[in-house]
Structure 1
Amino acid sequence: MVDFKSSDISLWKQALDCYPARIASLNKPNLASLDEFYRIELPSAIHRRNPKPYITTPELAKLMQWKLSRGKWRPRLLDFVSSLDEELVKSASGKAFESLPDLSKAVSALTVLKGVGPATASAVLAAYAPDVAPFMSDEFNTCIYWWIWWKAMEAALGNSKDYTLKQYLLFADKLQAKAKELNTIGDSFTSSDVERALWSSITQTKLDSRSDTSSRTKTSQGSKRKRKP
């Protein structure tokens, strides 16, 4: 697993390069195509609207679908976002993008929308300005997705469980600093690249652990069957 404190650019690049494979390894329906939409199609669509960029309600709904597919599925949030007024979404997102690089103002501009919290707001901002705003998951259960992001947060910030706007700002600052550090070594990393590299690395570690546990369980069960008279 990549240590957040590490400056080994090759390890960070390897983890980032493996991100699409890690997404596929989760075997979540439509997650790969949703992730491609989020990482490639959506940023391109937003930037085509410069100098007054915004997102639409359908785009926000698809972004929410991606977020929930990568984490905990909560259909009510998708329902809330899907029913938002188009002009309200355009206005809120336009104000948020205009507020950058002030993350506090940008997040606050988006969270006026029903169903949009700091985590979803961070995903919207990351799609437009990945160098400034890394995505922050808001998962709070003990499933693999919560474990993955909690460990990434823990790696960057230490043992803190505060998922507030204040914590997101601290988290973003840490990832911006890491990206700047890696860039001085001779590569081009955004704060969102750092987030994906961490997610990729920790996901693989968790999946390897689950695989090892499963193998040991099968071996143990096989040994017990052999000992039967």
Structure 2
Amino acid sequence: MELYKSNDMKIWKEALKSYPTSIMSLNKPNLVTLDEFYCSQLPTLLHSRLPAPYLTRSELHSLMQWKLTRGKFRPRLLDFVASLDEELVKSASQKAFLSLPDDISKAVSELTVLKGVGPATASAVLAVYAPEVAPFMSDEAMEAVLGHSKDYSLKQYLLLAKKLLEKAKELSSEDEQFTASDVERALWSSAIEAKLSASSAKETQITSKKTSGRKRKNSS
């Protein structure tokens, strides 16, 4: 929330720059590899598919793994995606991408026909193809921007996307361009750093109390 309210470009750039470090700091199996696929490899694949981009079932499965590993893990969603029809995934994703950048609502709706794909997962798909207009609906971004992460509806996503796009425009200049997805990643990274810092401080406090307790016990 503190970062979201700020317009200090230096702070935002530092938060965005720390994103890879924040990914690694979570120490989650395969997250670094999955994030590299999601952020670098998949966008290139999609934009190379002409005349109309689409997503394969395998790519959607990997994207879902990324989403669940970076956030809350719900293995059942992976099972749903694994059972989807290949042609349906291709058709739904193609229609969604062709709806951008003009109609984000339609793009989300085209994807949510797929079992296991709600607005949050749909946003992750759209963010790969059009990061400038369709950011990922992460819990951390929702907490910072909307003050909660309980409502994963299309309505809430459109509100989040609107606010992240507005913030991106506020931060952008002729020399520096921020996308809505840059804003989301910076907010996510800032939130992760804050959580890890708080956890570290708590562990230090517990260790200090245990040490003090042993010293008192030994002195008695």
TM-score, L = length of structure 2? 0.94
* Aligned match of 2:151: 162
Shift of 1:226: 0.6
Shift of 1:82: 1.4
Structure 1 residues 162 and 93: alpha-carbon distance in aligned structure 2, compared to 1, 3 A threshold: same
Structure 1 residues 167 and 67: alpha-carbon distance in aligned structure 2, compared to 1, 3 A threshold: same
Matches within 5 A, 1:200-215: 200-215=189-204
Tell me if structure 2 keeps the 8 A contact 1:2–1:15.
Answer: no
* Aligned match of 2:134: 133
Shift of 1:185: 6.8
What per-residue deviation string (whole Å, max 9, x for no partner) do you get for residues 138-188 of structure 1? xxxxxxxxxxx25x3232124574321100000000000111111137411
Shift of 1:227: 0.4
Is the partner of 1:194 in helix, strand or coil?
A: helix
The answer to whether the aligner puts 1:192 opposite 2:181 as a matched pair is yes
What per-residue deviation string (whole Å, max 9, x for no partner) do you get for residues 72-127 of structure 1? 22221101101211111000000000111211100000000011111110000000
Higher mean displacement: 213-222 or 74-83:
74-83
Is the partner of 2:172 in helix, strand or coil?
A: helix
Is the partner of 2:49 in helix, strand or coil?
A: coil
* Aligned match of 1:64: 64
* Aligned match of 2:170: 181
TM-score, L = length of structure 1? 0.91
* Aligned match of 2:210: 221
The answer to whether the aligner puts 1:86 opposite 2:86 as a matched pair is yes
Moved over 6 A (4+): none
Shift of 1:2: 5.2
Structure 2 unmatched runs, 5+: none
Q: Within 2, Cα distance between the matches of 1:213 and 1:106? A: 43
Q: Within 2, Cα distance between the matches of 1:220 and 1:14? A: 34
* Aligned match of 1:118: 119
Q: Within 2, Cα distance between the matches of 1:81 and 1:158? A: 30
Letter in 2 for 1:4: Y
Structure 1 residues 159 and 39: alpha-carbon distance in aligned structure 2, compared to 1, 3 A threshold: closer
Letter in 1 for 2:109: S
* Aligned match of 1:75: 75
Structure 1 residues 179 and 42: alpha-carbon distance in aligned structure 2, compared to 1, 3 A threshold: same
What per-residue deviation string (whole Å, max 9, x for no partner) do you get for residues 164-216 of structure 1? 11000000000001111111374111100000000001110110010001001
Tell me if structure 2 keeps the 8 A contact 1:2–1:201.
Answer: no
Tell me if structure 1 keeps the 8 A contact 2:47–2:53.
Answer: yes
Tell me if structure 2 keeps the 8 A contact 1:19–1:200.
Answer: yes
Q: Within 1, Cα distance between the matches of 2:147 and 2:212? A: 41
Structure 1 unmatched runs, 5+: 138-148
Is the partner of 1:198 in helix, strand or coil?
A: helix
Higher mean displacement: 27-36 or 74-83:
74-83
Number of positions where the alignment pairs a residue of Structure 1 with one of Structure 2: 217
